[in-house]
Amino acid sequence: MATSKNEMEHNLNYRRYKDGDDSWSRNTDKIFQASWTHKCPTYVQRTPPCQGSCPAGEDIRGWLDIVRGIEKPKEGLKWQEYAFYRSTDANPFPAVMGRVCPAPCEDGCNRNELEDHVGINSVEQFIGDYGLDNKLSFSDLVAKEETGKKIAIIGGGPAGLAAAYQLRRMGHGCTVFDDHAKLGGMMEYGIPGYRTPRDVLDGEMQRIVNMGVEVKLNTRVGSDISIETLENDYDAILWAVGTHSGRPLPIPGAEATNVITGVDFLRAFNDGRLQLAAEKVVVVGGGDTSIDVASVARRLGHIKNIHEKDRPENVILGHTAHDVASSAIRDGANVTLMSRASIENMPAAQHEIDDALREGVNIIGQVSPVEALLDSDGRCRAVKVIKLEEDGSTPIEGSEYEIECTLLVAAIGQKGDLSNGLEAMDNGHGFIDADKHYQVPNKKGHFVAGDIVRPHLLTTAIGQASIAAESIDHYLKNEELARRPKVDKHQFDLLDKLREAGLHEGFGEYDHSVEGTRGTSDGDFAVHNYENRSDDEIIPAEELFLGHFTVEARHKREEIPVTEEEVLGHFKERMIGLSEEETVKEADRCMSCGMCFECDNCVIYCPQDAVHRTPKKEATMGRYVYTDYTACVGCHICADVCPTGYIDMAMNVDGI
């Protein structure tokens, strides 16, 4: 088992084997005869858990190793550019995602077993910001020859644009249809600008458009243009329409005009119509959307003497728009966020919860709305709630009470707007069905990606778009859709690296008629002793030698704390990115799980002098060491001291 954080901080003489250990825990280890075995090292690439936890499937270990200087770019290319293009192979929005992604990759990071995860998001933000500041382009990534095929992409949000990016790299033509005035989907209309600065978002979207993507805004498929027309004019259709309809509160009184959805609230704010909230705002939810609504309401505040037309619900419903001048003198809003879950178990990101509390949002856990109580004018004056048991679902009898409000916002879920000609796509629940290849079942040539499949993270939409683009490419080539890998991610490819370094030409042709060549150490058709299991295995912390790593605190981005006294009118970005020096230091904390990071432990500790560095003229990332099997006795020391778990004792060399 991996050593606990507490033990590592106070007892740094970590040992894989303890006093008193006298038996093997695994049958495959019961192979020792005194100090030797018939097993010699193989070098096995596996997927690290950060990457395995990334819904977009980024080669996180790869670009971290580039930032820290282990993997070198080809001559003439700066490491910053090299890291940018490795990162954007899977995700074309590194500056956006480095800011807003809740980072499931960091939850999976094996370094959590040592002291604290690697700040993956902060490094990604640096890479993305460098790309924008230095005007790095995707134009050179477009396939040299156009295929002549055209894909209609319905929706210009993260899924639609990410799919356009991948499809243009394949040489396919793309037209994006969106019924909004701007591209971006929920990145534009759902996330406040202080979390995603609009110049950052616009820059990353424009980079994709510049690849030759045609864009048709303010165009709704189903009414402005029919599905039948698209089927006739395009070779395939990708549905990436998102979920822009909020779910209403399923309680009596929710039909009141001042009971609205969080999606509508944020859309009105982000397109500039909503300049004021209300005096008493109650938000029902618990997820990231509800936090955004509450935080925006605190920033907007309210004015005391408000005209009927300026009530927030009238603006949100599109009847009018706020005048900026009339909003200049305002007071703070009293904002309450209520959740069925306890505050500790709310689904929103913890740092967003912490920010909301600091900004003066009152958060109440383990309560559920029962009824919207109306005044004589039919407006909601309060919401009746009931307390819940710790399970978040069982009501506590007799615990009802009222929370006053002048605006009640439901942020309890979303669905797609599949009306006005799109009813045939609706699965009956406001979503579009998808198979494992993101094809729409029983609709040839139709594919789907993003929240309209199942609302989740932006990074999930990006990952689905990548798979959908591959499926579209196979469909257009009349190819069978093969089984997706068990670990379905963008992986480091040693052959690509060898090509990049000009080392691939030294390999001979593989002769299929020759038996016994698996795991060869002398065949000129293969990299010595190397095996790639990235498509099938994620390497756990138990396979690493954690004793190699020293405890080092995470280099954290500086956050501008916004207090409840300062929050009114505060729309500046709260997070300050790492400097280049800090970024490199943070990337250096990566343990490069499942890939050699050239520490030399196996070379230094081999008692037989059987492990050697690959000659420089033949060496590259993933091809740093080799084993002389005539000298190896199978003592397993190299595998025991390998920090990254890259070495397996798997080669049976009995008889050499």
The strand pairing partners of 278, in sequence order, are: none
The torsion defined by the Cα of 117, 123, 128 and 134, in degrees rounded to 10, comes to: 180
Which tokens sit at 372? 């919207």
143-244+416-476 and 247-413 share one CATH topology?
Answer: yes
What is the C-alpha separation between 120 and 48, in angstroms, rounded? 13
Q: Which residues of the chain have pLDDT under 50?
A: 1-13, 655-656
What is the SS3 assignment for 282?
A: strand
Which pLDDT score, from 0 to 100, does residue 32 have?
54
Which tokens sit at 267? 């859309």
- The model's pLDDT over 36-84, given as tens digits with 9 standing for 90+, comes to 667 889 899 999 999 999 999 999 999 999 999 999 998 899 999 999 9
* Cβ–Cβ < 8 Å for 448, 440: yes
Which pLDDT score, from 0 to 100, does residue 20 have?
73
Which tokens sit at 71? 């993997």
Angle at 45 between CA 502 and CA 599, to 5 degrees: 80
Report residue 431: phi and psi, to 5°. Answer: -130, 175
Q: Please name the amino acid found at residue 105.
A: C
Paired sense of beta strands 236-239 and 446-448, if any: parallel
Please report where in the chains the tokens 């998808």 appear, as a residue: 434
| Residues 6 or more apart in contact with residue 210 via CB below 8 angstroms | 137, 138, 139
The strand pairing partners of 410, in sequence order, are: 261, 284
**What is the secondary structure of 102-144 as a DSSP string?**
--HHHHH-GGGGTTS---HHHHHHHHHHHHHHTT--SGGGS-S
Angle at 452 between CA 277 and CA 209, to 5 degrees: 85
What is the C-alpha separation between 180 and 198, in angstroms, rounded? 16
Give the rounded distance of the alpha carbon of 221 from its chain centre: 29
Which tokens sit at 183? 């591209």
Give the rounded distance of the alpha carbon of 383 from its chain centre: 36
Closest by Cα among 201, 192, 167, 195 to 93: 201
Closest by Cα among 474, 470, 503, 504 to 489: 470
Domain residue spans in the chain?
143-244+416-476, 247-413
- Domain 247-413 has what CATH class? alpha beta
Enclosing H/E stretch for 294: helix 288-300
What is the C-alpha separation between 426 and 72, in angstroms, rounded? 49
CATH classification for the domain delimited by 143-244+416-476, as one of 3.30.565.10, 3.40.640.10, 3.50.50.60, 3.90.79.10? 3.50.50.60
